[in-house]
Amino acid sequence: FIELLFVFQSLWKDKSGYYYVYGFLAAVSVILLVTVAEVTVVTVYMQLCSEDHRWWWRSFLVGGGSAVWVFAYSVWYYIFKLQITGLASGVLFFVYSIMACFVYGLLTGTVGFLCAYAFVRRIYR
């Protein structure tokens, strides 16, 4: 969430509009994707151990579920960190946040599904 704070400050508070910490963002993104893959594989393994074979959508939702937390963080950021007044500015902030969280959820959900798919194919080979 510290990196998310830096990204939000760069997008919404900083007047220059530049983000300078791309290397750290890349490292955090790799850690995020590895964590999503591991959590999804463990969740699918536990589901398969309980003899529930319907793992497809659950693997996607486990991976993409972190988008809900990112959206909750954006609501917190709007309430406590931004001093935005006016309906149009608030709507613009939340529309952009929803679109970004949707793309983020698709990305992490796809990573989770693909890792779970590779895992299931490997253990049942």
pLDDT digits (tens, 9 = 90+) for 42-80: 999 999 999 989 999 999 999 999 999 999 999 988 998
Q: Which amino acid type is present at position 89? A: S
Side-chain half-sphere CA neighbours of 117 within 13 A: 10
Q: Answer yes or no: pTM beyond 0.85.
A: no
Q: What is the pLDDT of residue 24?
A: 78
Q: What is the pLDDT of residue 116?
A: 97
Q: Count Cβ atoms within 10 A of the Cβ of residue 10 and give its class: 0-12 exposed, 13-18 middle, 19 or more buried.
A: middle
Q: Give the lowest-confidence range in 32-36, 81-85, 112-116, 120-124.
A: 81-85
Average pLDDT score over the chain: 89
Q: What is the pLDDT of residue 120?
A: 96
Confidence bin at 2 (pLDDT 50/70/90): low
Mean local confidence (pLDDT), 104-111: 97
Other CB atoms within 10 A of residue 101 CB: 20
Distance between alpha carbon 99 and the CA centroid of its chain, in Å?
12
**More confident position, 15 or 55:** 55
